Amino acid sequence: MTIKQANEKFEILDKRISNSGDQPGNNQFTNGKDLDSADLIDRAEKFLEWGRLKSGALDTGNGLFTDSCWNMCLDIYLCGLKDQQVTVSAIAHSSGIPMTTAMRYINVMAEQGLLQKSSNPADQRMVFVAVSEECQAKIEKLLSNAPF
């Protein structure tokens, strides 16, 4: 899947989420404020585990069943909930995809306002990454409506 295709899918999902409240009788989506941090962490970890299980069961080594951008974004979100700073290189390394591809995805997500990058004051070679407030709200909306 290309970055463009991934972004298109994210935009479609975002529109569905945004429009779901406009449909008569559709009160399924909440604003995500009903869950505390522990619940959000639990749901995010379940999403990640489900993705790994799905990929492990169906992927034949070509990456067709991975959700690299979503997984990286969710990992970064989890680190934020746990008050852990995470570096760009750590997320790229843990993503399981080639480092250059992961770095490119991270840069695109930052350009689109989903992620925020900041320099480590103690070591200018290191760059921290966090989800933006807008991205955090969208993730929490998804997590609050997760089926598990």
**pLDDT at 46 exceeding the cut of 70:** yes
Per-residue pLDDT, 57: 85
Q: Which residue has the higher pLDDT, 141 or 2?
A: 141
Q: Which residue has the higher pLDDT, 137 or 1?
A: 137
d(CA 144, CA 128) in angstroms, rounded, equals: 27
* Region of poorest pLDDT, from 3-7, 29-33, 144-148: 29-33
Q: At what angle do helices 68-81 and 99-111 cross, to 10 degrees?
A: 70
**pLDDT at 53 exceeding the cut of 90:** no
**pLDDT at 24 exceeding the cut of 60:** no
Q: What pTM does this model have?
A: 0.73
For the residues of the chain, what is the DSSP string, one character each?
--HHHHHHHHHHHHHHHHHHTTSTT------STTS-HHHHHHHHHHHHHHHHHHHHHH--SS-TT--HHHHHHHHHHHHHHTT--EEHHHHHHHTSS-HHHHHHHHHHHHHTTSEEEEEETTEEEEEEEEE-HHHHHHHHHHHHT---
**pLDDT at 7 exceeding the cut of 70:** no
**pLDDT at 69 exceeding the cut of 70:** yes
Per-residue pLDDT, 27: 42
Q: What is the pLDDT of residues 118-141, one digit of tens each?
A: 998 888 889 999 999 999 999 999
Q: What is the pLDDT of residues 102-111, one digit of tens each?
A: 899 999 999 9
With cut-offs at 50, 70 and 90, classify the pLDDT of residue 25.
Answer: very low
Average pLDDT, the chain: 82
